Amino acid sequence: MAVDLQDRKSAAQGDPVSAAVRLRPAKRAGLEERFAATDPEPGLEVTRNPRVARLMRNRKFQFLLILPNQIVFWTVIFVGVLGTAIPGLNFGAAITWYVWFCLVFVMMVVVGRAWCAMCPFGGFAEWVQRRTFFRRTQKALGLGRKFPEPLARLGFLIPVVSFLVLTWIEEFFNIAGPGNPADTSWMVVGIVSSALIFFLVFERRTFCRYVCPLTTLIGTVGSMGSVAGFRTKDREVCLSCKTKDCMRGGEQGYGCPWYTWPGSADSNLSCGLCTECFKSCPEGNVGLFLQRPLTSVVAPRRRRADVAWGIAILWGLVVFQQFNATNAYASLDSWLNRGMLLPHYPNPVDYVGIIALVSLLYAGIAWLFSRGLGRRDVVETHLDSFADRTSRFRAFFVPMSYGLIPVMGADYFARQLPKFFKHSARVVPAVAHIAGFSSAQSPIYGFHILSDGWIVVVQVAVIVAGTAAAAWATWRIAGRELVPVSRNALGVRLATLGVVLSCGAAASVLYVLMHAAS
Amino acid sequence: MAIITSDKPAAGTDLPHVQVLVDRCAGCQECVVRCPVGALDMDPGRWVVLADDERCVGCRQCVRTCPFSAIEVTGPALAGSRATTEVVHPEPLLADVQEIRRGLGSWEDALAEAQRCLSCPDPTCMRGCPAHNDIPGFIAAIAERDLAKAHEVLRRTSVLPDVCSRVCNQAAQCEGACTWSLAGETPVAIGQLERFVADTYAVPPPEPAADAGLSVGVVGAGPGGIGAAWALVEGGASVTVYERDPVPGGLLGWGIPDFTLPDAVASRPWRQLEEAGVELHCGVEIDAAGLEQLLSSHDAVVVATGASVPVRLPIPGADLEGVTDATTFLKTARAALEAGDGVRAWRATMGLDAMGGSGRAPHVLVLGAGNTAMDVARTARRLGLGATCVDWLDERFSLARPDELAEARDEGVDVRFSRTVSRVEGDGQRVRRALLAPTRQEQADRLPTVLHGEAPDTLDVDLVVMAMGYRVDPAVAGVLPGTPVRREARGLADRRWAASGVLANRASAFAYHNPVGKLALGREVGLQAASLPVRERLWVVGDALVGPATVVEAMAQGRRAAGALLAARPNRPGREESGRYRRALVCYASEGGRTAQVARTIGEELTDKGLSVRVLPIERVGPAELAAADLLVVGSWVKGLVVAKVGPPPAVRAWLDELPRLGGMPVAVFCTFGVDPRSTLADMAAALERRGARVVATSALRRGGNKVAAVAFARRILAGVRELSAVPASVGAR
């Protein structure tokens, strides 16, 4: 190494360390192409507004988002256990299953991980971990371990498994029916306890990133949203930044709890909207940006297999939740339960079997496309990372799964609508019941916003909207990512389009069948 | 189908393997820009890091610097073997003060060791070095066989390479922070390489600049005074040094024995400084009145009087004849050893001739087992005395350097840990024995407890030397406001330090488990404090500033203070101003942007009036920024609920409380408010005055007020600053 004596002498007088730091230049090859499609337009920066910026910089901002939800969910826990056993009159069960789940879906589709920013489960555990409600503290409570790498490599798959387990428990005990309100309380206690344990054992938001049952669902469905999350304003500033306070934590903010760097974020998948990077950036180079809907579905260059499989499995689960309302399923489930001496629905074999069948069917179609339409010279990489390996099958399956997100999201949303339209009004008497008055005889208790027939119409309309969005996204994704690996450009676009349209149609038909069965 | 890549390690290889955890890797390139060997690159498609195991040397720099802990390295660190150097104990020891540690034997050894340096792009070793020597830079010069260049690199930050390479505890400094050390391996022998440079090629003398018309008095000729005088004379100042002792050098002269630091090396800096024109007055004691006199006769004064008062243990019998302190012992012993046949006379003077009955040599008990105690005990051995050191710390948590401890034991010093002297007893007035009580220490950060229930050992002694270290003379500290400064970094560490990885790991066994990063950050507090005057035109450096510390810290602080002094160019009263370059720092705490806007407006107006202005948020203002300013403007928003809890926000209060001494710096204070600022301005002004600032203007500006008010305030600041009256009319008339 040659030593440059001329230009460093004067600098050494003031700050000898800086004068002798000779960092290698950051790599910039491929930077432009990598982020061109995903970088939001400067005009869509919300934090350009001084009032919004001031709000986001305030350390109490996230605390005030979490606090109301915290109050509601601790009320859910206590009222669920101590309150009436009538689900519709119990605030815990009513608010959770008639309103909350539906509202979370609306937030996902519009904003992305808005719920994660205000989540009382992770929020509570984070308060304990940080030993403060909102201040910037320096020492965390707990062990601060890293999540084991073999598990971290599975990315968003572990949360999918935990979602499947939680859903089976919920179905088995009829928690979301809702059945006994106390079960709702215990479920919430279970989630809070799990979160607390993970926050005390592992660093940052390991629970939210790698374990939370909802994280894959919120992340994937949220990628349809119009909030891009916190991104860099000028990537060059980020690349030349010598401190990376947004990742390590700075004077005003913590390092990103979600392991996301605004300098390289290309979707809102892993942005928890916690504002910490915005607070900690000493250069003011981070902003909250909006984006066109579906941008985070269509535009990202890096596709991840864990996310793709997560989408396929979540699609399998929602199809199961539709199919389980049909007479055919009831017969199958009863037959299996008799044979296995299980008391009631859902039999784990048909639960897992149907989910696996649907998701593998989707993967199978992708495999067929890869064999029938794919080029033989697709580059294959053998990496340790499950998420990033490439193969001819993955070259089709992974992009196709991203295209399915709008249908899958719409289906989950539509699945929640009956409870909302039929029973959400019960929250009013449920609130009154905490104070000791109101009953199931209240006229509001029996008030339905929509009749069953209209609910099906709305459900099908939601599916149609989701399918249209999926068709548009799939057409774009196929044009950019499948055409280069296919022998027939138009054929692959039409074939993949046909698959998502079929999925949408199947979901619509299932809603009609469900209605007929009920 | 083409297989293009795999991140699995090659089977059967005994080489480092880098594993990038792609789920967490965000492509921030913190590892890429710092990898010493260029083993890391970016995958442009996935925008994650790619590693090349073929290039990796296993230094784990990437592991330490990744903000998301997304990279792991397994396998060996290819650090190579460290050059070994000899320690030669004279035989017999009596009266032999030859240097016992040898340097690198040859150019080949030096080149081989230089090759072990990775030239880290973000070198942690230089953060570990208290002077921040450009270590990769001078080692690269050695590798190029260019020692003149190596000296030039070292000279940017150090004027004592020959001294520091001999006396520094490198294991807790540069070598402890070497990337190999942080990876658990044996570090590059930085101290030996520095010594090789200094011993092989003469340390160049100072290069005085043209007379800058600045007269500076330096009180104390120890390492701090040397560092200050050297930088000042090279900056064109006229320097006069006042030293209490008859010879210059301070601790280098009398405190460190010749067998560690030969006299020829210790006296080299002053020979060169005097040749460069530094005026030296030895045997001159400067008291409080003298300091005021110096301030009136010089443009600025640097106080580097050190920590010269020995710490004495208040034990029964401490007033017996034959109980002395390390300063007295080392000074008299040095004189005796230098005199050739002076040992016998010294023993007579100390009353030791008749001691050591039964044919045994007189025995000295040294209280303490730190560096000073080791020096005392080993000097005692050279005076023909038996020596025992006792330290109440557990050996695991001892402050002694392991190499010094080993050398002392090799020379026959009996070192006993977990013991303390409970009393000394005598026959008549002369000390005869000491009672050593056992102690127990469970943890490094807890003081030992004395086990009173257990019987103490009895040791026959003829001389007791208290060598538990030194402290600053209270009379000196009394006239230097804000001293001593605690070398303890509080709050969030400098993010550049965190990014370098020096704070990320515990030290290796080589560094004796010293938390090198934490120690280095603490030293940085002292270095930064040295850049600010404690009073107007009065800087303090070295032990007088931070309490007992090290030679290299004192030297570095002296240089830092001199640099700040030269930039500030103060003038003593009555001397005509020579158009000093005025530098203003406008700092603000802004919640919604309005205070920031006012600060910018003030900054623009001050710039318009010819000042050099920096406008910064308070969280980015530290001692370095303050030292580079002659005028400070502080602004804040007002927190509170109209009438309740109205005042500066907590962050501003904390910042004001943490400020270093401002040494009479003129300060203007403003706040922006919505309804009523109440006592905000008064609170801020009082806090600044407590830190030694002079408040020259205050203003409460209504939120949403116009720019005119801010401009008017800027003009009031200019009018209020007494020094600004001397700004030439041509500058202020625009």
Q: Where do the structural domains in chain A lie, given as residue ranges?
A: 38-299, 305-517
Please name the residues between 363 and 422 in chain A that touch chain B, using a CB distance below 8 Å.
376-385, 387-388, 392
Residues A423-442 have a mean pLDDT of: 86
Output the pLDDT for position B730: 38
Nearest chain A Cα distance for residue B383, angstroms = 44
Mutation site, A4, A5, A8, A17, interface B, largest B CB count within 10 A: A17
Cβ of residue A263 closer than 8 Å to a chain B Cβ: yes
Query: pLDDT tens-digit profile of B165-203?
Result: 999 999 889 999 999 999 989 999 999 999 999 999 999
**What confidence tier does A43 reach under pLDDT thresholds 50, 70, 90?**
very high
Chain Cα centroid distance, residue B366: 27
Q: Say yes or no to pLDDT of A280 above 60.
A: yes
Residue of A415, A414, A352 lying closest to A160 (CA atoms): A352
Q: How many CA atoms lie within 13 A of A390 on its CB side?
A: 19
Spatial neighbors of B406 by CB under 8 A, at least 6 apart, are: none
> Which of A248, A389, A391 has the most B C-beta neighbours within 10 Å, making it the best mutation to test the interface with B?
A248
What residues form DSSP beta bridges with B239?
A: B216
B204 touches chain A (CB under 8 A): no
Rounded average pLDDT over A260-264: 96
Q: Give the CA distances from residue B155 to residues B64, B107, B270, B284, B533, in Å, rounded to whole numbers and listed in that order.
A: 30, 21, 16, 30, 24
Kindly give, in sequence order, each residue whose CB lies less than 8 Å from that of residue B686, ignoring residues fewer than 6 positions away: none
Q: What percent of chain B has pLDDT over 90?
A: 61
At A15 the pLDDT is 79
Sign of the CA dihedral with A352 first, then A358, A362, and A365 last: positive
What are the chain B neighbours of A379 within 8 Å (beta carbons)? Answer: 1-2, 4
Read off the DSSP letter of residue A95: I
Q: How confident is the model at residue A13 (pLDDT cuts 50, 70, 90)?
A: low
Alpha carbon distance A488, B524 (integer Å): 66
3-state class of B295 per DSSP?
A: helix
Instruction: Specify whether the CB–CB gap between B424 and B431 falls below 8 A.
Output: yes
The average confidence (pLDDT) of chain A is 91
| A17 interfaces chain B, CB cutoff of 8 Å | yes
- B286 pLDDT band, cuts 50/70/90, is very high
Q: How many residues does chain A have?
A: 518
pLDDT at B359: 65
Q: CB–CB of B497/A242 below 8 Å?
A: no
pTM: 0.88
Measured over the CA atoms of residue B1, residue B2, residue B8 and residue B14, the dihedral's sign is positive
Over residues B287-308, the mean pLDDT reads: 93
Domains of chain B by start residue, with CATH: 17-74 (3.30.70.20), 323-470 (3.50.50.60), 583-732 (3.40.50.360)
pLDDT bucket at B574, cuts 50 / 70 / 90: low
Q: What is the mean pLDDT of the segment spanning B23-40?
A: 95
Residue type for B662, please?
L
| pLDDT mean over A462-475 | 97
Show the tokens assigned to A209: 């990133």
Set of chain A residues whose Cβ sits within 8 Å of the Cβ of B24: 152, 259
pLDDT band at B2 (very low <50, low <70, confident <90, very high): very low
pLDDT at B295 over 90: yes
The pLDDT of residue B357: 53
Q: So what's the pLDDT on residue B398?
A: 83
Contact B29 A238 (CB under 8 A): no
Average pLDDT over residues B27-32: 96
Split at pLDDT 50, 70, 90, the class of A1 is very low
Q: Is residue B508 pLDDT above 70, yes or no? A: no
Tell me the chain B residues in contact with residue A152 when contact means C-beta distances shorter than 8 Å.
21, 23-24
| Range ranked top by mean pLDDT from A93-107, A437-451, B126-140 | B126-140
Per-residue pLDDT band at A167 (split at 50, 70, 90): very high
Torsion angle of the four alpha carbons B686, B687, B690, B693, in this order, in degrees rounded to the nearest 10: -90
Return the minimum-mean-pLDDT range out of A147-156, A244-253, B508-517.
Answer: B508-517
| Neighboring chain A residues of B28 at a CB cutoff of 8 Å | 238, 244, 247, 261, 263-264
Closest-CA residue to B459 (of B317, B562, B645, B640): B317
- The larger pLDDT score, comparing residue B677 to residue B229, is at B229
Q: Position B515: which residue type?
A: P
Question: Cα(A6)–Cα(B152) distance, rounded to whole angstroms?
Answer: 10
Output the pLDDT for position A414: 95
The more confident residue out of B640 and B103 is: B103
Among A134, A146, A216, A261, the strongest candidate for a mutation testing the B interface, having the largest count of B CBs within 10 A, is: A261
| Segment A254-273 mean pLDDT | 96
Q: How far is the alpha carbon of B137 from chain A, nearest alpha carbon, in Å? A: 6
Rounded CA-CA distance B480/B482 in Å is 6
Contacts of A57 in chain B (CB under 8 A): 591
Phi, psi of A491 (to 5 degrees): -60, -45
DSSP assignment of A27-60 equals P-TTHHHHHTTTSPPGGGBGGGSHHHHHHHHSTH
A112-142 pLDDT, tens digit each: 999 999 999 999 999 999 999 999 988 899 9
Task: Give pLDDT, residue B48.
Answer: 92
Q: What percent of chain A has pLDDT over 90?
A: 76
B498: left (phi over 0), alpha (psi -120 to 50) or beta: alpha
Element (H, E) at B61: helix B61-65
Asked whether the beta carbons of residue B6 and residue A378 sit closer than 8 angstroms, the reply is no
| Class of residue A81 by CB neighbours under 10 A (exposed 0-12, middle 13-18, buried 19+) | middle
Is the Cβ–Cβ distance between A54 and A43 less than 8 Å? no
Q: How many residues does chain B have?
A: 734
Quote the CA–CA distance of B302 and B111 in Å, as a whole number: 40
User: What pLDDT band is residue A459 in, cutting at 50, 70 and 90?
Assistant: very high
- Measured in whole angstroms, the distance separating CA B59 from the mean position of its chain's CA atoms is 27
| Contact indicator for B371, B255 with CB cutoff of 8 Å | no
Report how far apart, in Å, the C-alpha atoms of B115 and of each of A320, B85, B112, B348, B511 are: 65, 17, 5, 53, 21
> Is residue B350 within 8 Å of B336, Cβ to Cβ?
no
CB contact under 8 A, A264 and B591: no
Mark yes or no for CB contact A247/B141 under 8 Å: no
Contact state of B26 with A261 under an 8 Å Cβ cutoff:
yes
The most confident of the ranges A440-454, B218-232, B516-530 is: B218-232
Q: Do A17 and B132 touch (CB under 8 A)?
A: yes
Structure tokens at B201: 């090629």
pLDDT band at B92 (very low <50, low <70, confident <90, very high): confident
The candidate with the shortest Cα–Cα distance to B248, out of B277, B264, B269, is B269
On the question of pLDDT at A71 being above 80, the answer is yes
* Confidence category of residue B727, pLDDT binned at 50, 70, 90: very low
At residue B358 the predicted structure's pLDDT band, cuts being 50, 70 and 90, is low
Where residue A14 falls among pLDDT bands split at 50, 70, 90? low
Within an 8 Å CB–CB cutoff, is residue B42 touching chain A? yes
Half-sphere exposure (Cβ direction) of B60: Cα atoms closer than 13 Å: 22
pLDDT attached to residue B734:
32
pLDDT for residue B82: 93
Residue B6 has pLDDT above 50, yes or no: no
Per cent of chain B over pLDDT 70 is 93
Give the bridge partners for B390, in sequence order: B367, B416
Q: Check: CB of residue A227 under 8 Å from CB of residue A263.
A: no
In angstroms, the CA B588 to CA A517 distance is: 68
Q: Is A55 on the interface with B (CB under 8 A)?
A: no
Contact B23 A152 (CB under 8 A): yes
- How many whole angstroms separate alpha carbon A517 and alpha carbon A515? 5
State yes or no: pLDDT of B466 exceeds 80.
Answer: yes
Mean pLDDT of chain B: 88
